[in-house]
Amino acid sequence: MSRAPDTWILTADCPSLLGTVDAVTRYLFEHRCYVTEHHSFDDQSSGRFFIRVEFRQPDGFDEQEFRAGLAERGDAFGMTFELTPPHYRPKVLIMVSKADHCLNDLLYRQRIGQLSMDVVAVVSNHPDLEPLAQWHDIPYHHFALNPSDKAAQEAKVWQVIEETGAELVILARYMQVLSPELCRKLDGKAINIHHSLLPGFKGAKPYHQAYEKGVKLVGATAHYINNDLDEGPIIAQGVEVVDHSHYPQDLIAKGRDIEAQTLARGVGYHIERRVFLNGGRTVVL
């Protein structure tokens, strides 16, 4: 899914209370905003309500007045909201190691307009993918990693994030574990991708391990990062059936494709403001 270029996005969440849908939709009606897409969800387990609306603005639309009025209307419900204007393109920083399939896919989708984002930098602990970034005219930063001084390398990464104004960090097969401190700084703002063979097949050559066990499914998971390795809130997942005829190289090829597609889908959901954090889980509208 992707939104029309002339639409605003309104996202909000609050405790589950009677009248929450009406509070938002009536306010839009009163301001003569035409709703083009609407999704909401009331989570009985957490007692929270989530809503996402796309709308076209009327003539004479005053954004500041609209925000102020909605804040006043939402106070009665304990509602917090975000308003995203048309043509908004978040600044994105991509982190990679040596594998190029996810980076190549993301940059291609950005170039053809499928992902409405601006990749402001690529950061890596290896120099291998610099030609790919250069082809797309994107700055490439190679920060070699000294295992005995990981903090120094992460300080350089954070400096690039701050200097570029990156709002989202994508770990496109970045094969290093981020420190708890950097994870905290990037809470809700960094998306990782990993294969679905975790936690069963860890370490080197997971697809070879999976082949030896005769796996019947391979897939990938896109999730927000946290201090628990590969266990952050899940945004999107992909899976495909395999069988005895798939050798390790076949599993690896399928895994690459699913990783690229699943990561792109998760990133798309994030930049289109479809993802809400709900404790350790997500709501995707």
Please give the helix or strand (H or E) that residue 267 lies within, else none: helix 248-271
Catalytic status, residue 230: yes
Q: Could you tell me whether strands 91-96 and 168-171 are parallel, antiparallel, or unpaired per DSSP bridges?
A: parallel
Out of 230, 243, 250, 257, the active site residue is 230
CB 63 within 8 A of CB 82: no
Q: 76: which residues sit within 8 A by CB, 6+ positions away?
A: 23
Q: 171: which residues sit within 8 A by CB, 6+ positions away?
A: 95, 178, 190, 191, 192, 193, 225
Give strand pairing partners of 191.
170, 224
User: CA-CA distance, 237 to 222, in Å (whole number)?
Assistant: 6
Total Cβ atoms within 10 A of residue 86: 14
Please report, for residues 10, 12, 123, 260, 282, the alpha-carbon distance to residue 236 in angstroms, rounded to integers and kept in the order given: 22, 21, 24, 12, 10
User: CA-CA distance, 269 to 235, in Å (whole number)?
Assistant: 8
Residue linked to tokens 């995707």: 284
* Catalytic residue IDs: 230
